[in-house]
Chains A and B, each alone.
Chain A
Amino acid sequence: MTELGSTPAQTVGPYLAIGLPWPDGPYATVEDAEHAVWIRGIVYDGAGVPVPDALVETWQADQYGRFASPADSNEVATGFRGFGRCPTDLEGLYGIRTVRPGPVREPDGVEQAPHIDVAVFARGLLHQVVTRIYFPENERANAADPVLTRVPMERRDTLIARIGPDGYRFDVRLQGAGETVFFDV
């Protein structure tokens, strides 16, 4: 078995907007899917200034905890893609149309609390940063989640979305006060 070294990551640079956004990018599920919500948020830099040249990508299970991937043998809900991609606008705002995922039952019996994997790309980020969105309704499951419990208690709230007018709010703070927890994936 040959092990090959990975190609290094590089920044998306300031002009990612010509190459990466898709017209249907923000739709992790079809627009009119049952229980579809928006998750919106602002990406901030270390000075608290919104980042207008970032891209947020999301990956998640459907409401039954199933992934739209060949590695998951279960069928997902109709119209569910599970992947969302949205550039930030001039105010640093992104939005993903999706459904709140169900808990994910692992082959070893462990149950993960409902969550969304998030990757953030931007000018000035030489490698994407990865975080997770959890949900405020799932207090019990969150307290037992195998990933969330690795996070120091005082920083866990940076990973929990807030309830907003038409869905959820999840801001990303790249640096400084209230810095979002990022993972070594």
Chain B
Amino acid sequence: MRSPRQRSEPTEHGGYRRDPEGTHPPLDSPSYRSTVLRHPKQPLILLPHRMTELTGPVFGEDRIGPVDHDLTRQHAAEPQGQRIIVHGRLLDGNGKPVPHSLVEIWQANAGGRYRHTGDRWPSPLDPNFDGVGRTLTDARGNYEFITIKPGAYPWGNHDNAWRPAHIHFSLFGTAFPQRLVTQMYFPDDPLFAQDPIFNSVPDPAARQRMVSEFDLARTVDHWALAFRFDIVLRGSAATPFEDEEHEA
């Protein structure tokens, strides 16, 4: 999708570093059938980062309800399933935490069913689970959700296709080029090998960055398992450049 000619242009001072080839899935990924009619065929045109790209929306506490981070407490009773803590840090590519930044998630219930009219997979809806969460990272870029482990679900992309269990994540960072929607997966899922969405990421090391880690230290006895998922948004090219100047 992104031709080498365009990529070789220098990153302008003050912009965000462009990710190495293979970090993100190519828009044309035929094994994920829905991409066939939805990927642009013309080459992308390089957008230098100016004011519109060096800025981005900021959201505050007013967007977050008191139990938005706890998907097990949004109804009168608790949902079915394995209770889990999902937590981690939101960082930029320079290793700097992204504080007070909106994190949105949505997911299927323990049986792999979404609360969405389009989801016809015959696994029961859970009256106590919406599968939607929201929080802000704290001053050090940490976030935490309490939820249940989502189930795998069939999706008809190919013969006997099943999506590995995953949680959809949406992140903003502080600037338009940092905007990211991704999916968090669980360690050692036997369904990875047959999933064209997971495998659409060409670089195996990048692919691994979508897989959470089991976090024994954060489990809570007789209550919840824990998974750690750190998320990295693109780093500003300006910061290291300025650091070098100061160090020189």
Interface residues of A (CB under 8 A from B): 1-20, 22, 45-47, 49, 51, 53, 57, 59-61, 67-72, 81-83, 104, 106, 110, 112, 115, 117, 119, 121-130, 146-147, 150-151, 155, 174-176, 179-185
Given A8-B201, A18-B116, A82-B57 in contact, is the A1-B94 Cβ separation under 8 Å? yes
8 A-B residue pairs with CB within 8 Å:
A6-B233, A7-B210, A16-B106, A67-B52, A104-B50, A110-B50, A125-B39, A126-B32
Centre residue among B29, B50, B200 by max chain A CB count within 10 A: B50
Given A70-B174, A185-B47 in contact, is the A9-B206 Cβ separation under 8 Å? no
Chain B interface size band reads 35 or more
Provide the main secondary structure of the chain B interface: loop
Q: Could you say which residues of chain B place their CB within 8 Å of the CB of A180? A: 40
Provide the main secondary structure of the chain A interface: loop
Q: Could you say which residues of chain B place their CB within 8 Å of the CB of A117? A: 52-53, 176
Q: Could you say which residues of chain B place their CB within 8 Å of the CB of A112? A: 50-52
Among B58, B181, B205, the residue within 8 A (CB) of A5 is: B205
Given A20-B104, A179-B40 in contact, is the A7-B95 Cβ separation under 8 Å? no
B110 in the interface (beta carbon within 8 A): no
Given A126-B200, A183-B46 in contact, is the A18-B131 Cβ separation under 8 Å? yes
Given A9-B180, A15-B118, A18-B106 in contact, is the A179-B27 Cβ separation under 8 Å? no
Contact B40 A175, beta carbon cutoff 8 Å: yes
Contact A184 B6, beta carbon cutoff 8 Å: yes
Closest partner residue, chain A, to B15 (CB atom): A185
Closest partner residue, chain B, to A151 (CB atom): B45
Q: Could you say which residues of chain A place their CB within 8 Å of the CB of B56? A: 59, 69, 71, 83
B82 in the interface (beta carbon within 8 A): no
11 more CB-based (< 8 A) A-B contacts, given A112-B52, A184-B44: A1-B94, A4-B94, A7-B209, A8-B209, A47-B37, A71-B56, A81-B57, A126-B32, A146-B50, A147-B50, A181-B45
Contact B35 A147, beta carbon cutoff 8 Å: no
In the bound complex, how far is the Cα of B42 from the Cα of A176, in angstroms?
Answer: 9
Closest partner residue, chain A, to B196 (CB atom): A126
Contact A6 B93, beta carbon cutoff 8 Å: yes
Centre residue among A110, A117, A128 by max chain B CB count within 10 A: A117
Which B182-239 residues have C-beta < 8 A from chain A? 182-183, 197, 200-201, 205-207, 209-210, 231-235, 239
Q: Could you say which residues of chain A place their CB within 8 Å of the CB of B119? A: 14-15
Centre residue among B2, B40, B41, B201 by max chain A CB count within 10 A: B40
Contact B41 A51, beta carbon cutoff 8 Å: no
Q: Could you say which residues of chain A place their CB within 8 Å of the CB of B91? A: 4
Contact A174 B40, beta carbon cutoff 8 Å: yes
Given A19-B106, A20-B106, A151-B45 in contact, is the A124-B34 Cβ separation under 8 Å? yes
Contact B39 A175, beta carbon cutoff 8 Å: yes
B144 in the interface (beta carbon within 8 A): no
